[in-house]
Amino acid sequence: MILVKILKRKDASSVLVAIILAMIIQQPIVSMTGKPASIISGLSGPQYGFNYGPGSGWQGEYLFPIVWALLEIVVLEVLVWIFIFLAMPFKKRK
Predicted confidence at residue 52, as pLDDT, reads 52
Nearest 10 degrees: CA dihedral of 18, 24, 29, 31?
A: 160
Domain residues for the domain of 38 are: 27-89
> How many whole angstroms separate alpha carbon 37 and alpha carbon 55?
17
pLDDT in tens, 73-94: 899 888 888 888 887 877 776 6
Q: How confident is the model at residue 1 (pLDDT cuts 50, 70, 90)?
A: low
Tally of domains within the chain:
1
Q: Residue 46 has what pLDDT? A: 52
pTM of the predicted protein model: 0.68
The predicted-structure confidence for 3-61, as pLDDT tens digits, reads as follows 777 778 888 888 888 888 888 888 888 888 888 888 888 876 555 555 555 566 788 78
Q: Is residue 63 part of a domain?
A: yes
In a domain, 1, yes or no: no
Tens-digit pLDDT profile for residues 50-61 = 555 556 678 878
pLDDT for 50: 54
Residue 84 lies inside a defined structural domain of this protein = yes
Q: What angle do CA 30, 5, 14 make, to 5 degrees?
A: 55
- 38 belongs to a structural domain: yes
